[in-house]
Structure 1
Amino acid sequence: MSREGARGRRAALVLAGTGVFWIAATAAGILLDLPQRWRGLFDLMALAGFVMGLWMTYQTWRARQDDER
């Protein structure tokens, strides 16, 4: 198993997990009639997860670019 492949899979899991969390948190907020503050907090947490996943993807891409040189 290559190191870059493992990094890519980890980034994909972070992005997919964040998406599932965001959908579940949105549904829970609607079903439980949570205040907008809580829903906004869940949105910010999801945003942070997506940014982290994109950063991990960028790092993996840069590592592959450096290996080709």
Structure 2
Amino acid sequence: MGGQNDQHLARKGRTVSLVIAGTMVIWLAAQWLGKAMGMPGRYALLFDFAAIAALIWALVNIFQIWRARQSTQG
């Protein structure tokens, strides 16, 4: 049973890492593209808020992973 839980936590950790990396890549691309296309600053703010939301989601999941590992270790 513990091995299955470890696999689940590892899969969740990989998902979180992909969300963090993907968020940063998309955010950087959106900032560059918005500036290159001459978009108003409110669109940049929209991308900023979307990136913050994704990073908050990742932080919550990291905390959940940490708590799950603490409970399985004793």
TM-score, normalised relative to structure 1: 0.93
The CA distance in 1 between the partners of 2:18 and 2:34, in whole Å, is 24
Alignment of 1:23-34 (within 5 A): 23-34=28-39
The aligned counterpart of 2:64 is 59
Q: In the alignment, what sits opposite 1:47? A: 52
Superposition RMSD in Å = 1.1
Q: Which has the higher contact order (CA 8 A, sep 6+)?
A: 1
* Runs of at least 5 residues in structure 1 that lack an aligned partner in the other structure: none
1:30 CA drift (Å): 0.7
Tell me the CA shift for residue 48 of structure 1: 0.6
CA distance in 2, matches of 1:28, 1:58: 33
How many residue pairs match? The answer is 69
Task: List runs of 5+ in structure 2 lacking aligned partners.
Answer: none
